[in-house]
Every structure is written in structure tokens, then in C-alpha cells.
Amino acid sequence: MDVVGEEDELGEVMRCVKKASENVVKVENNGNKIGLGDDALVVLTKFISNYSQLILAKDCEAFARHANKVIITPRDILLVTRRSSNVSLQLNAYLETKSKQNDRNSIAKHKSVYHQKSDSD
């Protein structure tokens, strides 16, 4: 993946983290009228992102090393987060969405190649 693609992916992850943070606040707020200010949401999002990078990444690395792996897969990440049901649910939903998008892209690409072959015949 090129740098631009990585930046897009990182931006998407940060949007997901922000949305998850907002959802947690709504659930924990439990109908109270106390909200979360934009600045606080930014801080919470950065905290979760940093936590993920520092703690979860180290745990994933330890899991991979224990299994003699050189590449960390989404399944490895799910294993690390299995103790936190909310995180696991969010990751599973994200992975399902990405999988469906990849399937649609693959089908569209296949149709495009098929039509190009048909046109040249």
C-alpha cells in the first residue's frame, strides 16, 4: 500500500475511533443532559488512538511472536481484544464492512475485465 493509501486508512480508523467514542459517551450518559464537548471528544479520540498504538500493538506483537508469526492479521487483533466485548464488536463490524466493500470492488473489477475482453473479441 502506498503512503496515500495508508493515510486514507489511518483517517478512516480515526473516524471510527471518534464514532466509537461518541457512542460510548451516549451509552454511558444514560439519558443525562451532560454532553461531551468537541475538545473533550478530540482528547478522548487521541487517547484511544494512542492506547491502541501503545498497548494493543505491543499485545499483538507478543501474540504474533508467541505463534511464530511475522505478520499480524485481523484475527490476531480480535484475539487481543477479546476481553473487551465493545472493542471486539466494533472491530468485527468494521472488518465485516471492509470485507463487503472488498467483495463489491472485486466483483466490479471482474465485471470491468470481462467487459474489456468482450469488447476486444
* pLDDT, tens only, 14-72: 777 777 777 777 777 776 767 777 787 778 778 877 877 777 788 888 888 888 988 88
Question: Which has more pLDDT, 117 or 76?
Answer: 76
86-111 confidence digits (pLDDT tens): 777 777 777 788 778 777 777 666 66
Cell output for 64:
504474533
Q: Has this prediction a pTM greater than 0.95? A: no
**Cα(8)–Cα(97) distance, integer angstroms:** 16
Q: What is the CATH number of the domain that holds 49?
A: 1.10.20
HEC string of 71-90 equals CCCHHHHHHHCCCCHHHHHH
CB burial of residue 61 (10 Å; 0-12, 13-18, 19+): middle
pLDDT band at 10 (very low <50, low <70, confident <90, very high): low
**What are the backbone angles phi and psi of residue 81, rounded to the nearest 5°?**
-95, 5
- Look at the chain and report how many structural domains it folds into: 1
Print the domain residue range for 94. Answer: 3-120
